[in-house]
Structure formats: structure tokens, C-alpha cells
Structure 1
Amino acid sequence: MHSHVLFFNQVDRSSLPFVGGKGANLGELSKAGFPVPGGFCVTTYAYKDFIATSPKMDSLFDELNAMNPNDLDQLRKVGERIRTHLQQLEIPSRLKSEMIYAWESVGKTYAYAVRSSATAEDLPTASFAGQQDTYLNIKGQEELLQHIQKCWASLFTDRAISYRSKNGFDHRQVYLSVVVQRMVNPEISGILFTADPVNGNRNVVSIDASFGLGEAIVSGMVSADLYRVKAGQIIHKNISEKKVAVFSLTEGGTQKKDLPPSQQTKQALTDSQIFGLADLGKRIEKHFGSPQDIEFCIENGKIFVVQSRPITSLYPLPAIPREPLRVMLSFGHVQMMTDPIKPLGISVLQTVFPKHIFLEAGGRLFIDPTEVLRTKLGRKIFPRVVHQLIDEATGRAISEVIQRPEFRQVPPKPGLVKSARRFMTPIIKEVWRNLWKRDPKLAKSKVESYMQKKWTEIREALQRVNGARRLEAIQHELSILGKDVSRNLFPYPVCFPISFILLKRLLGDDKELHQLNKSLPGNITSEMGLQIGDLADLVRELPEVEEYLKHASDRTFYKGLANVSGGERFKQAFEDFISKYGMRCPGEIDLTRPRWRETPTQLVPAILGHMRSVKPGEHRQKFIHGEQEARKAARRMMDHVGHHGFKSKRVKRLIEVYRYFGGLREHHKYLFTLILDECKKAIMAEADKLVNKGVLLQAEDVFFFTLDELIQLLKGEFKQDVSSFVACRKEKYEWHQALKPPRLMTSEGEIVTGSAGKEKFPEGALVGSPVSAGIVEGKARIVLKPEEAHLNEGEILVAPHTDPGWTPLFQSAKALVTEVGGLMTHGSVVAREYGIPAVVGVDDATQKIKNGQMIRVDGNQGFVEILSGESK
């Protein structure tokens, strides 16, 4: 028989399914010897037996599960009916007797706090805290039973129903336990976070405290004192004016009282109590193994813990020591792809790049440049490069962290400079030769010759083997790819930003450089965009194909073209495009993303959007016009410095380098996507075999294994249940999708944003970085995924980020606004190439700007203004 009531000393973390998150945590604390006031849990079995007496609940549950979570009026009505019904039900006599016995055992004379404890509450990845009700200072048997029943009914408050519906929880599968805990009559109450809830620093304890019951803080009735403790020192105190407090009444219930003026500005906690709480919090954190949100009370000078739950808002940390202080920047922000990556994609990237530098956290990769930043030269150059070329906000944040004494006092690793010099010296020599000696016009053929050779080598190597040996070959090829590409390709595209910096110094500004950036010769991604335009122009001539594309599916994409007039003609042109670019897609550095060759309908919005917003042949004309403008800009630059002398020769040479090497800036990434695609083909061939053997349910399940785990699976050495393993990884990936990765964080978990500049902008302007000059106004079009884009003529593309997979949309956009980016990141360079204004690094742009709103994009100063509130 299942227990209806369990005392705290009978409960621990394993009891969560029947006492809920709050009850399980209190039981765990109590068993571990922490100061928890006595009490008991009315289990979920009691709740189930209670609602089982209702003849109506089945139909009410059906109504809840079928309801639209956005229909707030219907939600309110159904919730009110359920709550009223449950409060009118009679509690079964045996259940009532058990609860009364528990109450008498703890003490009839005490007042109690009666709190809900849902089975999905206070979990590491979901917090239902505050969704149900809490009742304080409850006295007497009848009052206790009545409020337990109210707690059961509060499982169906409007906010609780809405939260479950929107987060995909089945209302039938969320049960409620009730925690009944002896009330502490405190002089002081508060909330203790064992990690800073604002910036995520795991080494900082943050304490809010005020007089009386904690209800005044939780309800927002009073501004509490704030104390922060780090490394045994109080690093911050903010003593608030505490005008009111909530106290228990002798006869039961609570009341709000005005505090005397002398107490209102008094520090609620003594320094000794602050240190004691910080120590207690860290011991509780250690016990649970994760940062905690703890409610505490102080009665007669003694600290009591009345609740502890995980802090669910913190971004996860990589598995590295917190000390000494390290700095990590988001690889996703550098690559313009901040979405989570599945385990196979992470594993592939950590095979290409050093695993100790490319760290995983929250399904994303973070680059750890700490050892470089510990050197004098690294501190001088690295933040500037990031600030100028990648992302201004990240550059500011790095500069802030490396000035801290705790960072600077750690010396660089012995031998680091020597090994870096050994690796970089031959690359630097090649860069110097490219900048000043070699003919820039010949660079493209050299680069493409190497790319063809490397791609062929890897493709043939993977075709020679099968099974686990094929995946081991992938590991080997990827492990040497990074160094090989660095030596053979890196010296070419890096000349592009270097020549930009040198020209800017020689000319004094970068105004003409933005013109020089247009229609760069040999740019493989720009050529891809032009060919998308060619496909769109072809579809204009084939109305039946246009209609077909609007409803095409990936599974029958090519086959269906045979049934429409002009379909074969379009099919041939499209297949030619796919043969060159089919390995590409948005977020293409993630091997697990579907490629255009796999899901060709991803390209349909770009083709149809181009038809709507660009005139026939206009994209080619624009490119030619861009070449002409670039030549004119080059002439103006030469006129500015004169046509004779050393400076003139330097500028002329650098203009050539800038143009020809700028055209190669995407080639290394193109090669990487080619090789990734060969790896993916090989992996999916092995995945199909695993499906045929019944090891996997579907081939895409391999995405939730690392390369090492897949090799074990193919060798028959994988020890876990495959179905459970995949299900667990999928659940974790779902959680990762809900996380927002920081640009930069430290090993302590602190998210550092960097102090913004003090430039003056219009009131309400959304500020970012100016990366492509010009000022335009137009309707905003929010695009979260390029395959779902619907750009019309004259619209401004507002996106979280862009990479080469977004290039097809640039022909149609009037301007560009992104949440992530810097001067030399993909969207910025392409925007300058296409001559459209762009502002990047605008935090939360896709949320603050709405579809259809008129906005002004100022690519000169770097801000966006919302001109109208209308949206559609």
C-alpha cells in the first residue's frame, strides 16, 4: 500500500515522484542534518485518491488537454470550474485520519505553512515554482485540512494551467503533493542564491533579506537588503528602505505592518549572519551538486532553511575548474550560429579543433583563449581583433575581464610563446609573401587547386573502408584537418582583414573601403547568390514550376518536376546548382544540419523571394555596377594619396590584395562544408546499416552520439541501452534549445557583457555596430530561419545571425539587422558587397522589432529606430 503521508525524515531525492520537488528537497535537507523546521508531506497518492472520488475529473482533464493555451478566457473558465469542484469534494475519511495523525505528531500547538509541491517542480531544467498556492500561519485541524484541499485545487490556477500547456506537460501526468511545515516566527527572512542570479557567477553568494516573514520579499511588497559574498568577503551591500514587513498573527494568518523609521534603513543581517548564511548556502549547494535558490528564516538568532531548489536560469558551465579564472567566448557568435548543436556535431568540431580550447556548454562550443590572453602580446592584440573584426560587445567584455587582478596575476604557461611562435612563424611568412610579393590574381587558382586535392583525398580515404574503421578514418582526417588548412589556406583569406586595417591607417578612414568591398572577384558565396538569382529568373519564365515550388516536398521534389511544364528545364539548372552548393545550408558547420541536397525545399523561399523583390537580371547588373563602383573607389583612393612615391605603391598593392584575397574569404569554409558533407554521407551510410540491424529506430538518431560512442556502437562495445540513451540525449537537446548562450563567460560562470560606449543615440534606438554604410527606411521582416523567409520588395531583413546559408536572401533585402556580428563577419561583408546598410550586434532585435513595423537602419552610426508601432 502506498503512503498518503510521509514525515521529512522519511523523504529524500528519490521520493520526488510522490512528494514533488519541494518535498523531496526538504526531506533531503532534513536527512542531511541541515536546520529544517519539522513537518510532513501529503503525497501524490493522497492527491490521486482524492480526485479519484470525483465523477467529473476525467472529462475536465480531456477538456484541459484539448484547450488552446492561448485562449485565456476559456482557460480561466475551465480552471475556475475545476477549483470550485475540488474544494467542494469530501476528503476520504482514511486519508483525513492519516493527515491529522501526522499533524498531531509534529505538534498541534504550532502554526504551519502549507505549500504545494508539484512533481514537475524545482527540477534542474524546469521550475514550476509559484505556479500553485502557499498558505502561511495555518492553525488548528479544520484550517489545516481546508488549506491542504485548497493546495490541491491550486494545481488548476490559471497560471499553473497556462504554464503546463505552453511547456507541453500533460495535465493528467502532473500530480501534487502538499508540504506541511512548522511555521518559524522569524525576525528576519530572505532568499539566498548560491550563485549570482544576475550574471551567473558561481563563486558569488547573493542574499536578499528583510524583517518579518519572507512573503514581503516574494510578493514584491518591500525592497530587500542585498548582500554579495565572494571568497569569504562581503563584496557588495545595498541597504534598502524597508517600510513594511509581514508578521504572523497569534490567532492564525498574517498581517502587514509599518516598520518604525529607525528600523527602515537598518541593516537587516549582521555581517556575522551574512557569513554564516553564505557558508550554509555553499554546504547545501555541495550536498545537492548544483547552485541553489534557498529560502531562510532567522528566529531567535537561529537560521532555518524552509526551502531549497536548483537555480534553473543559469547557463551551464563547461567541465573545467573554476580557478584560476579563465575566459570563454561563444564560438556560435563568431560563426553566426548561436543555435545548439547535437552531440555528433559538437564531437566533429572538437575533433577538428583542440578539445581543451573548444569547450562544450549548453549544447554550444566556447573558445578558451585564456593562455593567449595571459601573455602581454595576446592581451594587446586579441581583444582588438575581436572588437574590430568579429563582435564589438565581445571585444569590450574581453578587455574588461583581462584587466582584473585575479586574471592578470596568473602567469602564462611555460613554453606557450615558444610553441606558438613555432606554429605561427611559417604561416606569418606566407601571409607576408601574399601581402607584398606574390601576384594576387594567381591566388585563387592555388587555393582551389589545394581544395580539390584535399577534398579528393578525404573522399577516397572514406570510400576505402567500412564500419567502425570508416568512422575511425573520419576521426583521423578531421584531427589533422585544422592544422593542414591553417598552413595551406589561412595565409590567403587573412590578408583580407589585414589589408583592410593597413589601408584604413594609410587613408585615415574606411569610407572608400566599403565601396572597394563591392563585387569581390572569385567570391564563391557571392557567386552562389548570383546563381540563385539565375534560378529565380528561370522560374519567371515557367509559371507552372513556380506554382509547383510553392507546394513541393523534399521527398518528391525532383520526381514531381517531371509532371509540370518546364520542370525538366528547371530540374537540370537546379541540379547543376546542387552539384556545386548542395553541401551548404544555414548553420553549415554543424554536420547534423540538413544540407540543401537533402532538403532542397530550403531554397524555395529564397528563389520565390528573389522573384518578388528583384527585377529580372537585376542581380547580375548590380554585380557589374558594384565592380564599377569598386574601380571608381580605387581610383579615388589613389588620387587621394597621389600616384607616385612609396605610399602610393603601398596603397595600390593593398587595393589589389584587398580585392583578390577578399574574394577568397569564404573558400576555407566552403572546403570545410565539402569535407563535412563527405563525412556525413559516410556516417549516414553506417547509420542505415544500424537501422537495418534494429540497433537504431531511425538513421538520424546517430546525431545524438559522439564519434567515439558511434565507433563503440559499430564495434558492439556500447554498454548502455540505445533507446534510453537516445531519448535522454534528445531531452537534453530540447533543454539546450531553450537556453540563450552568452557572448562571453568566465570559468566562474559570470556572464560579462562589457561596458557599452557613451555615444549619443536617439531615444529608444536599438544600438549595435555599424558595418555597412547608408541610412534606409522600410518594413521589417523578421526571419528566424532562412527556409521560412518571405521577403518582399523593399523589406529590411532582421535576423538573429547570418552565415553563407543565408546569402540567397541578401539580393532581396533593403538593409540588414542582426543580433550577432562584427565588421568582418559574414553578414557584414556581404551587406557591404551588395551595397545595403547593415547594423549588427543589436541585442534581441528579433524580439524588440515586429514584422511589418517601419524602421530606420542607420549603418553610418550603428542604430535602428522603430518608426511605427504597426506590425503584421
Structure 2
Amino acid sequence: MTQIGGILSILIIPPIIGAIPLIDWFTYAVSGKELTKLGTGNISVSAAFYHGGKLAGILAVLSEAGKGVGVVLLSRIFFPSGSFWEIIALIMLILGRYYLGKGAGATNLTWGIVTHNPVAALLIFILGGVSFTIWREKRAGRISVLVLMVVVLSAQNINHPEYILLTIILASLMIWIYRQMADDLELNPSEVNGESAKMFRFFRGDSGIISLNEALNPQKVGAKASNLSRLKKWGYNVPDGWVLKIGDDIHKLQEFINPSSSNPYVVRSSALDEDTNWASAAGIYDSFVDLTDFDHLSQAVIDCFSSYNSAIALDYRQRQKQSEKGIAVIIQKQINGIYSGVIFSRDPVNQLEDTVCIEAVSGMGLKLVSGEVTPQQYRVFFPEEKVEGEGDISQEVLLNLGKIAREIEHLCQGIPQDIEWTYDGEKIWLLQTRPITTLKPVWTRKIAAEVIPGVIRPLTWSINQPLTCGVWGEIFTIVLGKKSRKLDFSQTATLHYDHAYFNATLLGEIFLLMGLPPESLEFLTRGSKFSKPPLTATIVNLGGLWRLLRKEWRLITDFAHDNDRYFRPILDELKDIPCETLSTIELLDRIDHILEVLKKATYYSILAPLSYSLRQTIFQVNPNDLDYDKIPEITSIKSLQKIAIETQNLLSEAELNQLDCNNYPAFFSYLSESTEGESILNRLEKWLEEYGYLSETATDIAVSRWSEDQSHMRLMFSKFVGEKEIILKVNKDKNKSWKTSMVQPRLDLKGQVAEIYSKLLAYLRYSFVEIENKLIKEKKVLEQGDIFFLKLTEIKDLIKDETINIDKIYNLIKARKCTWEENKKIKKIPYLIYGETPQIDLTTQNDISTTKKSLQGIPASMGIKEGKIKIIKSLTEAKNIDRETIIVVPYTDAGWTTILTQAGAIISEVGGKLSHGAIIAREYHIPAVMDIPHATEIFHDGQLVKVNGNNGIVTILSQITIEH
């Protein structure tokens, strides 16, 4: 009975074990991908590596190895070790694995044989390695290993014919399964990135056939073949195909393909200089379709290779100044689509509209590419998902094409894509994807709009751009080391319509060199959460990261040193020597000195917030547990509030009721005429001495400081005095946790750096203003503000070069003023720009509206508030604000502090949880939502909305404007 039970167990349990899709479960748990819906649909170890990554692959190997070991050990419960029942158990396991588990079972077999007969397994491995070096081809290598298995195991059991027969059956079963699963990747380590892939490529040899199922290197097989392999990996429908390099044996293809009239193939080029980020080489190399027999296919491959040296190709490479890199050839199954065409993930002509452009023709797409016919033209609008255009293709197919284009663009680091496609009536097939080279680089206002907001004048940019680019370049060089040599950090930022943009394409290249996933770039271009770097990336860049962490760890110490040596001495010197006492040349020397020190301050102004953000993320400290009293905008507003409270105490209740605190000129006139008012005005003068370096936009030296224009301070102060109860938050000493103590010093450092940085910029402005005063007297410029429309080098030339043409300077300033004024009128500034600056027709600029009931931003300060909208694009518009007002602002620099504290809630077009507005809002318990693009155009004064600072959602309660 025991043996009968054993036989039944071996015949029943192993197939069940083989059917359990552990690989699919592990892959889904790790990556969220279902193997049955990707690639070949096989649930194999290599598919887990290929689609799920290294962790999924390792778990797959362990699970399948465990199955092989388990069924062998199961048979030993009932039968002697090494019996033929162990072979039967493996046969049953592999049958279950193939028919129910959708896999070949190679890993099961390998570890099952190791457990069954370790000595034989070692001998098979050694001899198999030798045979692989001889055959150096995947299919032959597989068969040779299975033959060796039969020979070695049979030799040890020569007197047991039943054992030999079962071993032959086992090997034959595996060979049959391999033939049935022609695209299965079970024994193809080349599908896996890393050393295993390199090893198998050696065993494959030069005559081996490269499949599009493999992860391909564009430097070896060209970007076209590499991009197709990536599309396959990402789960898109790509026709099966193979890649030949020069010298590969074409006839090896006969093992894989059988061209016929019902099964045609195409041959296409994949040159190493084709479909790259810099050049498309479209139409330069030959392609062939409708290949229905092997002779014609072979000739097409030869002709395709030959096209690399054609006259047109040689001329193209010469004009592009490209070196000779070589060519590979792609052989693919031909899809006879009922419609074919091209998708541009962005409109290459009118990029201001968020559309995907689709062109299509009936049948195959060669007629479209060659320009033989006029295609059907469609546009898919996002985010509305609306289709525009007339033709025969269904709206559903067009919408799917649009979504696919944007998905692929996203997977390609946000670079716009030119995609060839065909539709066979059931599936959309992708035939090619490549960058739209004319839409590079991609420029983003994300972060840049907060760092340097507003419409920027030439002088400001001529100073900020080299400072920002230079310091960021130094930081990235610390991490990347020698990898950074080919990067041009001077292209990190630029201006479009006099607004600052960062180079998302360059940053994407930097991220890739750092080993970060492409999705990391989305936090710049789309505002997504920053992606966690994979462990492999951390290990690869360990040296650079260690150097950066050492800088971060020493940040406070280094700042203290530089503060004593550079920052405090220059600030003391600038304070002691008024600009008015210096000559024009001395002022230029003063400016050069400030810029030299400002570069050091810029380093800290970048690293200090990064350090604070990093520690905040790691230690998960509640922002409300931190003390913000060293942030300049917080200290300035609290100091002004204290003076307002003292003023309330000095004035009688009758005086306060009599005064109109909303009319600040009358209020200050009263103070100047009263005895008590003199002490208050003296306190305000001291306040300006301490905080007068701040302004509406501290990073823009063209914007006046509070010490120059006191109207803003006076307006806010009078409103504070008029409040019945001033909310003055006092940070009480509390028992700080060790986590808080790890973050608080970095927040304090951020505040100290911001103060020094803003003061240096203020003194820089004062120096230029004084130079301008002197130039106006010399009639080299005409009026106040003109100097900010000249670049720094031009100002130096104007002062030092006696032969300069003054009329030319007048005209230059006039032209730049005109452009700047025009750019101020643009209502809708694109958040992303592709390549060159697109032209905006101001006459067609309409208000931006939305049909959405709610908009998602970044939750910056907790709380929920309903109220009426007040749009404030500049501080001059900051009137009639109270606790029932929800203000909508373009950004929240330090100068906006006194406005923000008056409101019931805040909505900002840019910013995040660590921006100025977010800090102010949390300090005064005001609900705030940041990062709602074009909010000042979407909302309207008097609109009723609900701001939810907990989840970042702004809900429009009424589209009707409600009078205040």
C-alpha cells in the first residue's frame, strides 16, 4: 500500500506543484506586472528577470529550484534514493509546468538532476560548458546538454533499461517543449542584464542570432533595434524579430523563420547613428517589405548592409559630422495592417497645445513615409482625451494611439517620440519609436518658476544663470566624477519669454548617469514624487554619493568657516561703505567682489535646502514640530507684528476706532503728528534697517527692496494695527526628539543661508542702482531702471569703453524693454517647452478655464477653508484681504509674507511643502495648496471654492463670481 500510495503521489503531486504559478505571483508582488499579459505570456524564470527585475528573477529561481528539489525528495519518501521514480517525478513536474504553469521547466529539471545525482550533474555541467564553446549557439547548446544528460545518467545505470528509457523520454519531452515554445526565454541568460548576459553572449558566438526579446545595447545593434526591444520589454505589441550584425551567418535564420506569401517578412536597417537623440537618419538607409522566400530575404539583408555605404548615406554622415559606426539589420514578421501611420507624441508645429498628432493611411505605412499620398490627419487633446479629425479610423483606436504615445514618451524620460504603428483590426502594433530631434531639449518651469519667478530682465539673468549653472555643475561633478566630463552644465537653465526654465533633458542624462530610473525626472516635468533609486544605482555611484554625503555632513561646519572668513566680513564692509561714496570703477570692483562671494553663498543656498529636505524625508519629522524662527520671512513678520501690538497698546481705544487702518497714508500721517507716533516710526526705521534687504522677489535684483519702497511695509503694518487680535505664534521650548534634532539644525542653516544670500543680492542691487544714477548724469542711459535691461558685460563695456556707441545702447535698451513688456502680457506661459521657443500670438491669448470641479495640487499646510477667491499677481494688488479671502498667487517668495498672513487660505501656481508660502502657512495655521499650474488664470475674483490643505485638492463650489 505504501508503494501504491507513493506511485499515486508521484503521479498527482508533481503536476500540481508544477502548475502553481509562483513566478507570476512573485513578479506581480515585486513589480505589479502580470507575466501572462506581457511578451510571450510564458511564466518563466527569464521572463521574471526580464519583466520584473532582479529581485523577481531571484525569487523565481529559488521557487522553481525548490520545486525540482522537492519532487525528487518526495519520491525518496516511498522509493530508494536515485531510483527511476525520481525521473518520473521530474517528468510529471515538467508536464504540469508546461501544460498548466506555462513554462518550460528548465530550472526545475536542472535542480532536480542536481538533487537526483550530484556527481552526474557536475559532469554534465563541465561537458556542457565545453559543448557550448564548440556550438556557441542557443538551440544547439540546449540539445547538446540534454543529450549529455541522457548519456551520463545512462552510463551510470547501464543495467537498468527502464531508467535509460525514462531518461530519454525526459530529454525528448524537454526538446519538444523547446520547439513548442520557440520564444520562451527559459535558458537564455542574455535576457538578463549583467554578467550572466555577457557570459551567454560569449557562448552564443558571432554566428548566433540576436532576438528582439533580448535587452539590446544601442551601441552594438543601433537605437532602432534597441528601442524595439525596449517596447517589447514594456509590454507593447511588437512583431517578432531578430537582429544580424555584419559577419553573422544569415542562414542561421532558417532555424527561426519560414517566409511565404502567407507569412511575409520585412528587412530594416538599424544603423548605430540612426534614431538617436541627435539624428534620425530617416530614409537614409534601405528597407524591404513583402519578402516571401528566403532567397529574397537574404538578398534584402545584403542590400540593407550595403546601403550604409551608399552615396546618400555617406553624404548624410558627412553633413552631420558623424564618424563611421556601422550598421545592424532587423528581420521582422510583417504585419499587414488595415491602417498604418505615424504618431508624434507632441505637436512639432504648435507645441503650445497639449496634443498628440496622428497621420494614417490605408494598408501599410510606406506610402505615408515616402510622401506618395496625403494622409488622414488627427489630433488627440489631453487631458480632455478629445479626438479631432475626419477619417475612417474609430475614435477608440485613435484615443488608444494617443495614450500609447504619451506612455512611451513618459518611459523615454519625457522626450517627445516619433512612433510608427499599424492596426490589423484587432491589435495596435508598434514598428518603431525614436526621439523627435527637433523638439529637444525639453525645458521645464518646474522648480525654476519658484527659484527665479516672474518676468526676468537681462541683468538679473546674466548674473543668476552662470551662478546657478556653475554651482549645480560642481555638485553633479562631485557625484558623477569622470562621467560628468561630456556634460555642458552651462545649458542647465535658459530663458523663454523672459521666464526661467531648467533643462529637463540634461537633468535626465545626469539622472541616468547616476543610475536613477527615468521616472525620477517626473518630479521636475510633472511634479510627481521623486522616485527611489534602485539598490544597484546606489552601489554603482557609492563613491560619488559618499563624497556628497561627506559634504552634507560637514555642511554646518563648512558654513561656519565660510561665514567667518567671507560672508560676515563682506557684509560688514558693504554696510560700512555707502555706495554713494564710490566711483563707477570702484562700484564695478565692489560688484565683482560681491559676485565672488555670492558664488560661495549659492553653493549653500542649494545644498542647505537639499540637506534639510533629505533629512526631513529620512526621519519623517512633522513640520509642525520644527522651529522656523531663523527663517528671515518668519522673523521679519513676527517683528512687525510685535511693533503693531506695541502700537495698539500706545494708542487709546478711541484713537484706534477713529483711525482707518486700511488707509495707510492717513494712518502714518497721524503717527507723524502724534507724540506716541514718533517712537513707533523710530521702531519701524530700525525694522527696515534689519529687514529692508527683503523684497517681493529676493532673487531678482531688478526688483526694489523694502528699504527702497516702504509702501508695502506701511500697508501691512497699518493692517496689523487694525486687527482686533494679532496671531503671534510663540515657539515654546519642548522636548525635542532625536529625529527632530537631526533636522532642526538644517532648517536653521537654511534660514541663515537665505539671509546672507538675500543681503548679498540686495547690496548687489544697490551697487547697480548707484552706477545707474551716475550713468544717467553722464547721459549714457536715459532713466531709472534702464540698467537692468543691459547684461553685466555690456555695463562694464559702457563704463570702460570710451568709444562705445551710445545711440546703439539706447536702441538696445528700448528693444529689450519692448520685448519684456510684451512677455509680461502673456497669460499662458507653457510649463514645458520642447526645443526652440514657440511663437505665441498675443492676439489669440484667451483666459484659461477649466470644466473640472476640483484641481489637485501639493498639500502644503493642513486645514480646510471655504471662501471667495482673490487673484493677486503682484503686491500692488494686495487689497481688501481678510480671513474669509482665499488668495491665489503666482509664487510665494519671502516678500509675499505679509500678504500671506492676512489670508484665510493660499493657492499658489508653483511651490511645494518646503517653499516660502508653505512655511508661512504652517506657521500661521493657514490652509495652503501649492503647484496648481495657471491658477491665476483658472480662478476668478469672487469665485467660491474650498481649499483642502490636507490632501491638496481645491474644489470649485461656484463658477459664478460672487461680489465681495
What TM-score comes out, normalization by structure 2 length?
Answer: 0.47
1:722 counterpart (794, 809, 813)? 809
Residue pair 2:901, 2:920 contacting (<8 A) in 1 also: no
Tell me, in whole angstroms, the C-alpha distance in 1 between the residues paired with 2:750 and 2:371. Answer: 50
Q: Could you tell me how far 1:858 is from its partner in structure 2?
A: 0.9
Q: In the TM superposition, what whole-angstrom CA distance separates every residue of 1:788-844 from its partner, at most 9, and x where no partner exists?
A: 313213332221211111111233222211111122222123222332221111233
Q: In the TM superposition, what whole-angstrom CA distance separates every residue of 1:34-93 from its partner, at most 9, and x where no partner exists?
A: xxxxxxxxxxxxxxxxxxxxxxxxxxxxxxxxxxxxxxxxxxxxxxxxxxxxxxxxxxxx
Query: What secondary structure, in the 3-state scheme, does the structure 2 residue paired with 1:780 have?
Result: strand
Residue pair 1:343, 1:705 contacting (<8 A) in 2 also: yes
Structure 2 counterpart of 1:649: none
Tell me, in whole angstroms, the C-alpha distance in 2 between the residues paired with 1:798 and 1:264. Answer: 40
Tell me, in whole angstroms, the C-alpha distance in 1 between the residues paired with 2:874 and 2:699. Answer: 16
2:352 counterpart (181, 192, 199)? 199
Structure 1 counterpart of 2:628: 520
Tell me, in whole angstroms, the C-alpha distance in 2 between the residues paired with 1:445 and 1:547. Answer: 50
Query: What secondary structure, in the 3-state scheme, does the structure 2 residue paired with 1:525 have?
Result: helix
Query: Which residues in structure 2 correspond to 1:481-520 (within 5 Å)?
Result: 481-482=598-599, 484-485=600-601, 492-504=608-620, 513-517=622-626, 519-520=627-628
Residues 1:383 and 1:481: Cα distance change in structure 2 (over 3 Å): farther
Residues 1:780 and 1:365: Cα distance change in structure 2 (over 3 Å): closer
Residues 1:710 and 1:855: Cα distance change in structure 2 (over 3 Å): same
Q: In the TM superposition, what whole-angstrom CA distance separates every residue of 1:690-726 from its partner, at most 9, and x where no partner exists?
A: 2112222223211211111111111234334333332
Residues 1:232 and 1:449: Cα distance change in structure 2 (over 3 Å): farther
Structure 2 counterpart of 1:431: 552
Query: Which residues in structure 2 correspond to 1:301-700 (within 5 Å)?
Result: 325-330=440-445, 333-335=448-450, 338-354=453-469, 355-368=490-503, 370-376=505-511, 393-395=526-528, 428-433=549-554, 451-456=567-572, 466-468=583-585, 470-471=587-588, 473-475=590-592, 477-479=594-596, 481-482=598-599, 484-485=600-601, 492-504=608-620, 513-517=622-626, 519-540=627-648, 541-542=650-651, 543=655, 550=663, 552=665, 562-612=672-722, 614-616=723-725, 618-620=726-728, 622-624=729-731, 627=732, 631=734, 652-700=737-785
Tell me, in whole angstroms, the C-alpha distance in 1 between the residues paired with 2:589 and 2:702. Answer: 18
Residues 1:486 and 1:429: Cα distance change in structure 2 (over 3 Å): farther
Residue pair 2:452, 2:500 contacting (<8 A) in 1 also: no
Query: What secondary structure, in the 3-state scheme, does the structure 2 residue paired with 1:857 have?
Result: strand
1:746 and 2:834 correspond = yes
Tell me, in whole angstroms, the C-alpha distance in 2 between the residues paired with 1:469 and 1:231. Answer: 66
Tell me, in whole angstroms, the C-alpha distance in 1 between the residues paired with 2:372 and 2:914. Answer: 43
Tell me, in whole angstroms, the C-alpha distance in 2 between the residues paired with 1:771 and 1:264. Answer: 45
Query: What secondary structure, in the 3-state scheme, does the structure 1 residue paired with 2:882 have?
Result: coil
Tell me, in whole angstroms, the C-alpha distance in 1 between the residues paired with 2:773 and 2:625. Answer: 49
Q: Give ranges in structure 2 of 5+ residues lacking alignment.
A: 1-345, 361-367, 380-388, 394-435, 470-489, 534-539, 840-849
Highest relative contact order (Cα 8 Å, sep 6+), 1 or 2?
1
Q: Could you tell me how far 1:677 is from its partner in structure 2?
A: 1.6
Residue pair 1:839, 1:862 contacting (<8 A) in 2 also: yes
Residue pair 1:819, 1:840 contacting (<8 A) in 2 also: yes
Residues 1:681 and 1:379: Cα distance change in structure 2 (over 3 Å): same
Residue pair 2:662, 2:715 contacting (<8 A) in 1 also: no
Tell me, in whole angstroms, the C-alpha distance in 2 between the residues paired with 1:433 and 1:672. Answer: 20
Question: Which letter does structure 2 place at the counterpart of 1:788?
Answer: E
Aligned-CA RMSD value:
4.8
Q: In the TM superposition, what whole-angstrom CA distance separates every residue of 1:379-425 from its partner, at most 9, and x where no partner exists?
A: 7659887766xx783458x99xx9xxxxxxxxxxxxxx99x988x87
Residues 1:444 and 1:773: Cα distance change in structure 2 (over 3 Å): farther
Query: Which residues in structure 2 correspond to 1:186-225 (within 5 Å)?
Result: 195-199=348-352
Q: Could you tell me how far 1:597 is from its partner in structure 2?
A: 0.9
Q: Could you tell me how far 1:329 is from its partner in structure 2?
A: 2.6
Structure 2 counterpart of 1:101: none
Structure 2 counterpart of 1:837: 927
Tell me, in whole angstroms, the C-alpha distance in 2 between the residues paired with 1:714 and 1:658. Answer: 48
Q: Could you tell me how far 1:443 is from its partner in structure 2?
A: 8.5
Q: Could you tell me how far 1:582 is from its partner in structure 2?
A: 0.6
Tell me, in whole angstroms, the C-alpha distance in 1 between the residues paired with 2:374 and 2:665. Answer: 61
1:771 counterpart (860, 870, 880)? 860
Tell me, in whole angstroms, the C-alpha distance in 1 between the residues paired with 2:661 and 2:894. Answer: 26
Residues 1:475 and 1:745: Cα distance change in structure 2 (over 3 Å): farther
Query: What secondary structure, in the 3-state scheme, does the structure 2 residue paired with 1:501 have?
Result: helix
Tell me, in whole angstroms, the C-alpha distance in 2 between the residues paired with 1:324 and 1:421. Answer: 35
Tell me, in whole angstroms, the C-alpha distance in 1 between the residues paired with 2:583 and 2:893. Answer: 33
Residue pair 1:795, 1:813 contacting (<8 A) in 2 also: yes
Tell me, in whole angstroms, the C-alpha distance in 2 between the residues paired with 1:458 and 1:329. Answer: 36
Structure 1 counterpart of 2:798: 713
Larger Rg: 2
Tell me, in whole angstroms, the C-alpha distance in 1 between the residues paired with 2:931 and 2:390. Answer: 43
Residue pair 2:661, 2:719 contacting (<8 A) in 1 also: no
Q: Could you tell me how far 1:675 is from its partner in structure 2?
A: 1.1
Question: Which letter does structure 1 place at the counterpart of 2:616?
Answer: F
Tell me, in whole angstroms, the C-alpha distance in 2 between the residues paired with 1:230 and 1:205. Answer: 18
Residues 1:369 and 1:832: Cα distance change in structure 2 (over 3 Å): same
Q: Could you tell me how far 1:358 is from its partner in structure 2?
A: 2.9
Tell me, in whole angstroms, the C-alpha distance in 2 between the residues paired with 1:769 and 1:587. Answer: 22
Residue pair 1:444, 1:522 contacting (<8 A) in 2 also: no
Question: Which letter does structure 1 place at the counterpart of 2:704?
Answer: P
Question: Which letter does structure 2 place at the counterpart of 1:495?
Answer: S
Tell me, in whole angstroms, the C-alpha distance in 2 between the residues paired with 1:350 and 1:234. Answer: 48
Q: Could you tell me how far 1:366 is from its partner in structure 2?
A: 2.1
Residue pair 2:887, 2:906 contacting (<8 A) in 1 also: yes
Tell me, in whole angstroms, the C-alpha distance in 2 between the residues paired with 1:234 and 1:498. Answer: 56
Residues 1:777 and 1:575: Cα distance change in structure 2 (over 3 Å): same
Q: Give ranges in structure 1 of 5+ residues lacking alignment.
A: 1-192, 210-228, 241-262, 268-320, 403-416, 505-509, 635-651, 752-760
Q: Percent identity?
A: 21
Q: Could you tell me how far 1:322 is from its partner in structure 2?
A: 6.7
Residue pair 2:854, 2:954 contacting (<8 A) in 1 also: yes
Residues 1:692 and 1:546: Cα distance change in structure 2 (over 3 Å): farther
Residue pair 2:647, 2:680 contacting (<8 A) in 1 also: yes
1:858 counterpart (948, 954, 964)? 948
Q: Could you tell me how far 1:595 is from its partner in structure 2?
A: 1.1
Structure 2 counterpart of 1:734: 821
Q: Could you tell me how far 1:491 is from its partner in structure 2?
A: 5.1
Q: Could you tell me how far 1:857 is from its partner in structure 2?
A: 0.8
Tell me, in whole angstroms, the C-alpha distance in 1 between the residues paired with 2:632 and 2:660. Answer: 30
Tell me, in whole angstroms, the C-alpha distance in 2 between the residues paired with 1:794 and 1:363. Answer: 35
What TM-score comes out, normalization by structure 1 length?
Answer: 0.51
Q: Could you tell me how far 1:660 is from its partner in structure 2?
A: 3.2
Aligned residues: 516
Q: Mean alpha-carbon deviation: is it higher for 531-540 or for 675-684?
A: 531-540
Residues 1:384 and 1:585: Cα distance change in structure 2 (over 3 Å): farther
